Amino acid sequence: MKLSFQDYISIKIHKTDLVLSGYVKAKLEPYNLAPEQNLIMMLLWEQDGLTQYQLGEKLDKDKTNIARMAANLEKKGFVERRHCPEDRRSMRLYLTSLGQELGGKIIPITEEFNDIVCKGISKEELLQVERLLLKMKTNIENST
């Protein structure tokens, strides 16, 4: 039996992602921060001085994408890129004072967003969602 458009799980995930991304984008816009850039900032607020390679690994992004986002964040004055003393080819990202200050405004927004998204969902259900998404990702990775 052929599935209808609405029955494909990828469509359901995509529609949910559009709503979530649109919400986050609107909340971050006043701070001149794109949702993908915010992912880098969130990692740096947790651990300042990560390398671009480490950021790429954590976000599952290629080095060109990370370098572009880092350059944009640097232009905005949120981060500073410095060569690693132990490896001059590698760059570390450090929060500027403006970037650190931004965390005080953005982290509460991301926590509120997480609370809204997870409202009425138990810890067990969240773990199940995580397991299912990982299983879907693994299915795709194993099919190529």
Q: Which residues pair with 80 in a beta bridge?
A: 94
In this predicted structure, what is the pLDDT of residue 113? 96
- Asked if residues 33 and 88 have their Cβ atoms less than 8 Å apart, the reply is no
Q: Which residues fall within 8 angstroms of residue 84, CB to CB, at 6 or more apart?
A: 51, 90, 91, 92
3-state class of 122 per DSSP?
A: coil
In this predicted structure, what is the pLDDT of residue 85? 78
In this predicted structure, what is the pLDDT of residue 86? 75
Interior/surface letters 33-50, b for 16+ CB within 10 angstroms, e for the rest: bbebbbbbbebbbeeeeb
What is the number of residues in the chain? 144
Helices (H), 1-144: 9-28, 35-46, 52-59, 63-75, 97-118, 123-143
Mean pLDDT of the chain: 94
What pLDDT, in 10s, does the model give residues 71-115?
A: 999 999 999 999 877 777 788 999 999 999 999 999 999 999 999
Q: How confident is the model at residue 64 (pLDDT cuts 50, 70, 90)?
A: very high
| Overall pTM surpassing 0.85 (yes/no) | yes
Q: Which residues fall within 8 angstroms of residue 14, CB to CB, at 6 or more apart?
A: none
